[in-house]
Amino acid sequence: MCGIIGIVNISEDVSEKLFKGLKLLEYRGYDSAGMAVINNGNLQIIKDKGKIDEIHEKYDFLTLSGRIGIAHTRWATHGAPDKVNAHPHIDCTGSIAVVHNGIIENFMDLKTELAEQGHKFRSRTDTEVVAHLIEENLKRGMDVEDAFVNAIRRLKGAYALAVISTASPDKIFCARVESPLVLGIREGEVYCSSDIPSLLLFTNKIAPLDNGEYAIISPNNVEIRRISDGSRVRKQFKKIDMGVEEAKKEGYPHYMLKEIFEQPYSIRYALNVQKNYLELMADFIDRSSRLFLVAAGTSYHAGLVGSYIFSKLARITGMPVIASEFVSRYGDSITVDDSILAISQSGETRDVLWAVEQAKMRGATILAIVNVLASTLTRVARIYLHQQSGPEIGVAATKTYTGQLTILYQLAFSLARKRGKLGQDEMDRFIEELNMLPDVIDMILKKCDREILEVANEIKDAKYVIFLGRGVNTGTAYEGRLKLMEISYIPSLAYPAGENKHGPISLIEKDVPVIGLVQDDETKKLMISNLHEVRSRGAKTYVISSSDDEEVREVSDVLIKVPRVSALFTPITYVVPLQLLAYHTSVLRGLDPDKPRNLAKSVTVI
Ligand code: M6R
């Protein structure tokens, strides 16, 4: 997965803008980057492995001068992250440059064919075939547009592409199949990019390219057509009311910390979900015979918590399924009576889209909770709910997780009401409490940050860390584990605490940190006994709880007390100290929590 951007201007150099836009796309991948411009009929390229700033420091992107250019930040799929495999890729003659986000599945066949025709490949990427295909078409006498369209019609897989050619030096040719691509316009300048925020630096007039469309953009013109038949598409550019500042760090040392501290706001936004769509979604779920909550990573943990909440509040069985497993596990048995609730911050996670596509083909109803508007998932879903968490730049999901949970609670209430499973008084009390959560999170952030920093200091050199939860907080334990592991690289385990004696307890030895989550519900006594089990074998227990009674204190070497809310809502209140723990541990270990190695924000490959 990668970020691409292209700019064409009537009279000014574009390299500085490309550089700025590229920096905003860095969350999509950062193992290599590059830029190509056309200057006086020649293609000039800077590219290398490393982060954008490192490459800039070495070569200075701004030395590239030209009114048209494309740029790329990469997260490697085919070919190691090195200079040769960095984008842009060029044809044999060095006059066509291509940047690409996605995967071209049939690239090996195309490469073999092109190599037989005499084309010389420099990289091991799937992308390079596009440059050579266009070159071949030009050789056969096509103009650049025909050569481009003919080439992309031969591609199988997913792509957002931007191409420049010295044979047509004032046009960018771009196309989208699956991978996202948006266009932007202003007087004398036109843009394409993988996302909207990277364009907000320059314009707020935006139009997303839809799946299966290509565009030819020049300084004062945008022409959009369908790849399949070349038919013209008319599209309105809409004004986007979102500032670039939203996407900046606002004084925090890292985006992740900023985003953790934004949660009182992001939860409040999520509480403002459009009620008519919420009700409609609840209607669909209520009518379906089975409900699957399909997601990956952190979003899967939200689905897992959601399944407990749906059962407790609305007496609905929702099966949480890891998206990449969905097709082999349930693909063949899906029917028109089923509903899939796909949960995805980005709305672009390939595993999720794959599961959804398969389920849709079998007639299931596709519902979604997303954060990124105009993402692919919003287009395939019958109804989607926008969680409105704002852009999340840190690779580790934080505010978008609590945003997803906030939507799931509201959905559960709506279902409970429809199904008559909750009395009005109880419902009113719960809803009031849900509405108070932003303030509660604010209190937790103020109270816990220093305490958690101390815990982080204690665990930062641990060989491994164990997270225990039960009931609604099983998902919270998994999420705490994922956060710590992905940004601090400390191997960690999480499991429902009842599993302790079925194996993992053998890992407990002196001073192993065990993070235990204790909520005041039917699981409390059992959880306390699990903590006794590990403590008596030498573990050091760090307990997060809204209770500080004798029983809880007895099993806690360190007790992180958070304000009391109903046990049902503790997945939101307990995850915040866990996010802070992961953050501080990562920083204390000298790592960059915003950019964990080998990971990217949105995983658009299977
Ligand atoms: O965009 P999505 O919610 O579909 O992303 C799914 C996972 O890749 C994501 O939640 C990932 O696990 C987190 N970034 C980890 O913090």
Domains of the chain, residue spans:
3-248, 252-422, 437-606
Determine the atom of ligand 1 nearest the C-alpha atom of 395.
14
* Least confidently predicted of 20-34, 127-141, 436-450, 585-599: 20-34
Judged against a pLDDT cut of 60, whether residue 517 lies above it is answered with yes
Q: Is the model's pLDDT at 81 over the cut of 80? A: no
pLDDT computed for residue 341 by the predictor:
98
Q: Which CATH architecture has domain 3-248?
A: 4-Layer Sandwich (3.60)
Mean pLDDT of 113-120: 97
Q: What is the mean pLDDT of the chain?
A: 94
**Residue bearing the CA closest to ligand 1, atom 11:** 297
pLDDT above 90 covers what percent of the chain?
84
Instruction: Enumerate the active-site residues.
Output: 2, 601
Mean pLDDT of 85-94: 97
Question: From ligand 1's centre to the CA of 87, what distance in Å?
Answer: 25
Other CB atoms within a 10 A radius of the CB of residue 225 amount to 18
On whether the 437-606 domain is CATH 1.10.10.10, my answer is no
Indicate which atom in ligand 1 lies nearest the CA of residue 601. Answer: 14
Angle at the Cα of 64 from the Cα atoms of 59 and 70, rounded to 5 degrees: 105
Q: From 481, 603, 605, give the residue whose CB has the most ligand 1 atoms within 8 Å, as the site to mutate.
A: 603
The pLDDT value recorded for residue 248 is 59
Nearest CA to ligand 1 atom 15: 396
Q: What is the mean pLDDT of residues 479-487?
A: 98
Instruction: State whether the beta carbon of 194 lies less than 6 angstroms from ligand 1.
Output: no
**345 CB near ligand 1 (under 6 Å):** yes
User: Residue 74: what pLDDT?
Assistant: 85
What CA–CA distance (Å, rounded) separates 70 from 172?
8
Q: Report the nearest-CA residue for atom 10 of ligand 1.
A: 298
Question: What distance in angstroms lies between residue 227's CA and the mean position of ligand 1's atoms?
Answer: 31
Given a cut of 60, is residue 32 above it in pLDDT? yes
pLDDT at 246 over 70: no
Provide the pLDDT confidence category of residue 75 given band limits of 50, 70 and 90.
low
CA 332 to ligand 1 center in whole angstroms: 26
Range in 241-245, 296-300, 358-362, 556-560 with the lowest mean pLDDT: 241-245
At residue 442, the pLDDT reads 96
Distance (angstroms) between ligand 1 centre and the Cα of 297 equals 5
CATH class of the domain whose range is 252-422: alpha beta
Per DSSP, the three-state class of 37 is strand
Pocket test for ligand 1, best of 346, 579, 583 (most atoms within 8 A of CB): 346
Residue 391 above 90 pLDDT? no
Contacts of 235 (CB under 8 A, 6+ apart): 183, 207, 222, 224
**What is the average pLDDT across 402-415?**
98
Answer whether 3-248 and 437-606 agree in fold. Answer: no
pLDDT of residue 451: 95
CA-nearest residue for atom 8, ligand 1, is 297
Average pLDDT value for residue range 527-551: 96
Ligand 1 atom having least distance to the Cα of 483 = 16
**pLDDT, tens digit, for every residue of 576-585?**
999 999 999 9
**Dihedral sign for Cα atoms in the order 109, 115, 117, 120:** positive
| Winning range, highest mean pLDDT, from 28-37, 370-379, 506-515 | 506-515
What does the pLDDT read at residue 245? 56
Question: How confident is the model at residue 79, as a pLDDT?
Answer: 66
> How confident is the model over 502-515, as a mean pLDDT?
93
Kindly report the pTM of this predicted structure: 0.69
Interval 173-206: pLDDT, tens: 999 997 889 999 999 999 999 988 899 989 999 9
Q: Is the pLDDT of residue 371 over 80?
A: yes
Residue 438 to residue 443: CA distance in whole angstroms: 9
Q: What is the whole-number distance in angstroms between the Cα of residue 404 and the centre of ligand 1?
A: 12
Let me know the angle formed at the C-alpha of 215 by 211 and 219, rounded to the nearest 5 degrees: 145
Cis peptide before 88 (omega within 30 of 0): yes
Share of the chain above pLDDT 70, in %: 97
Q: Give the pLDDT confidence score for residue 250 in this predicted structure.
A: 60
Ligand 1 touching residue 352 (CB < 6 A)? yes
pLDDT of residue 344: 98
Task: Compute the average pLDDT of residues 521-527.
Answer: 97
Residue 521 in this model has a pLDDT that exceeds 60 = yes
To test the ligand 1 pocket, which listed residue (75, 260, 341, 345) has its Cβ within 8 A of the most ligand atoms?
345
Counting from 1 in the atom list of ligand 1, the atom nearest the Cα of 396 is 16
1 lines ligand 1 (CB under 6 A): no
The sign of the dihedral angle between the CA atoms of 248, 254, 255, 261 is negative
Mean pLDDT of 459-465: 97
